[in-house]
Amino acid sequence: MKDAPINYHLGNYQKLAENAWEKAKKNEVARRIRAKDHTLWSVSPEEIVNRLGWLDAPGQTLKKINYTQDTLAPLAGKKIKDVILLGMGGSSLAAEVFSRVFGAAPGYPQLTVLDTTDPAAISNVSQKIGWDHAIFIVSSKSGTTLEITSLFHFFYHEARKRKGVSAGDHFIFITDEGSPLAQTAGEISPFHIFLNNPDIGGRYSALSFFGIIPAAVVGIDVKKLLHNAQAAANSADHTAVMLGAALGALAYQGCDKLTLYLPARWEAFGDWLEQLIAESTGKNGRGIIPVLAEPDADVSCYAQDRVFVFLQNENDISSRVKDLSAAGHPVVTVKIKTEYDLGTQMYIWEMATAAAAYFLGVNPFDQPDVEATKIYTRKIIEAHEKNEIAEERKPVFSENDVKIYGDTSGNNLKDVFNNFFKQSRAGDYICLQNYLSPSAEIDRVVARLRAAIFQKYKMPVTHGYGPRYLHSTGQLHKGGANRGLFVQMTGENRVDVAIPEDLNTDRSSLSFGALKYAQARGDFLALAEKGRRVIRVHCLKDAAAFLKKLAATL
């Protein structure tokens, strides 16, 4: 396809890909996806036939553009300066992509995506915005997501303190038809509700209201974006299925570390792709493991479990492509022209992911292992609300600035980590699960730590902030192959923020700090239950200083 050329540099893997392409053609994968044929992935239609609305999303959303613009028109007179999106996973990632790739158009407000339960981050947003000129977008497919409900309760109470009965005028809602949030929204803000097609799964919702409404609010030409996506829907099936077939077949044969190189401005697109691919394919002991923002290394450092994908500007040819290909690694290059190619790429990658899942033998539309963390989290919260102290194993190592829990041992910091990583096997990866307060400084020291770990252990090192990653890669961690060594990073809360129990009372039995702890602890227990190798590093003082020390130690 001329609008989205994809080139393959596969070397010894060329025949593998050609066989996959022939299989895709023989079994009519493109036609069957388009026909919404559930038997492509499962004999049962459950959690498939009601999750294929994304195939029609570009056209459906285009038909609603006039309604969208009419609904948002009253905001123009309010001189809105800040738009804060309260969302998680599929309800937030596309909006963040559009915001970071395009930025706000002149005269339009800035978008802040709040997809955290970290009390310091929440408090910071509450204090820095101008409440007279702020709008909140409450974005939740189910309408019951714990993090979004908690954020909504908090910010609605804060708005009511300042704006009284008009607090609801500062809220926009995006949710599925028939969700509990839809009824609440009608009582609070009846003119600012966008009801999405419930047959679109969260991670496939970028080109529906969940991605397009935030994009429109900050002045992006959403018609152009959707027209590009619709063009891909009309003509890119073969291109997308070829891509998915290659990636699925490569992953099935062990090249399951999908290492992405993106232009600086497109880095957020990698976060969106990470969720789409990891949550769709990571189940039944299989999956594709996205690796983002990895520091460059000599090509000889990479094991033969990688496939490298480069999204490149049309005239930009990375020398890494030639070097990696010459070293025997499969490489795919995808050409992009403008920012509005996002619409094209989103549709192609959705189709490609569905095709890759076919080659891996998994259902790309369910998430069977996500509930495990939620169950443990709820139990910990219930214990907290009853003033019961949740039991936790004693630390296996402690110093004045850290306590470490889990599957390791040692008399000093270096030995503790060496002994943990010595459990690795061929094809493994390391995952840093970061429950520290997000900041530019933490980002820098984590990047340094990732580089130090990779340099020493020569394994891919991924990173995600919690609880955000629970809605992104959490399914892969627990449902994919047992190839991860998980390092949770937690710390003491500098501040804490109470969560109102509902919209009509200030009463609170839970804080964001307690919720974040419950989510980290709950995922630790869920990983352990699945037989995953996991440790928790709890920073008692300055987390950034400790991580610097750890990187130097390694």
Q: Are 11 and 325 in contact (CB under 8 A)?
A: yes
Query: Closest Cα to residue 49, out of 363, 480, 273, 284?
Result: 363
Cβ contact 223:107 at 8 Å:
no
Residue range 236-261: mean pLDDT, rounded: 97
More confident: 314 or 131: 131
Predicted confidence at residue 387, as pLDDT, reads: 83
Average of per-residue pLDDT values in the chain: 95
Q: Please tell me the distance from the alpha carbon of residue 61 to that of residue 212, in angstroms, as a whole number.
A: 8
Which tens digit of pLDDT belongs to each residue from 327-373?
999 999 999 999 999 999 999 999 999 999 999 999 999 999 999 99
| In contact, 491 and 543? CB cutoff 8 Å | yes
**Residues 353 and 13: beta-carbon distance below 8 Å:** no
Q: How far is CA 246 from CA 41, 129, 155, 236, 359, in A?
A: 17, 46, 45, 16, 9
SS3 content of the chain, % helix, strand, coil (to 5): 50, 20, 30
pLDDT digits (tens, 9 = 90+) for 370-394: 999 999 999 999 998 888 776 678 9
Residue % of the chain over a pLDDT of 90 = 90
Its sign, for the CA torsion 320, 260, 251, 479, is positive
Question: Cα–Cα distance between 10 and 2 in angstroms, integer?
Answer: 21
pTM score, two decimals?
0.96
Beta-sheet pairing, 429-434 with 484-491: parallel
Closest CA to 220 of 438, 347, 65, 64: 65
pLDDT at 418: 96
- 499-554 pLDDT per residue, tens: 999 998 889 999 999 999 999 999 999 999 999 999 999 999 999 999 999 999 98
Q: What is the pLDDT of residue 391?
A: 66
Mean pLDDT of 96-108: 94
Question: In the chain, how long is the greatest CA-to-CA distance?
Answer: 67
Q: Characterize the bridge pairing of strands 171-176 and 193-196.
A: parallel
Q: Is 489 helix (H, G, I), strand (E, B) or coil?
A: strand
Q: Are strands 306-313 and 289-291 parallel, antiparallel or unpaired?
A: unpaired
Q: Residue 369 corresponds to which amino acid?
A: D
| Contact (CB, 8 A) for 122 and 116 | yes
Q: Does 3 have pLDDT greater than 70?
A: no
The 3-state secondary structure of 27-49 reads CCHHHHHHCCCHHHCCCCCCCCC
The span from the CA of 360 to the CA of 358, in Å, is 5
Q: What is the pLDDT of residue 1?
A: 36
Whether residue 239 contacts residue 4, with contact meaning beta carbons closer than 8 Å, is answered with yes
Q: If you write DSSP's letter for every residue of 368-400 in order, what string do you get?
A: TTHHHHHHHHHHHHHHHHTTPPPP-PPPSEEET
CA–CA dist 144, 513 (Å, integer): 20
Averaged over 145-150, what is the pLDDT?
Answer: 96
| Residues of the chain above pLDDT 70, percent | 98
- What's the confidence (pLDDT) of residue 317? 67
* pLDDT bracket for residue 191 (50, 70, 90): confident
For residue 306, the surrounding DSSP H or E stretch is strand 306-313
The pLDDT value given to residue 2: 40
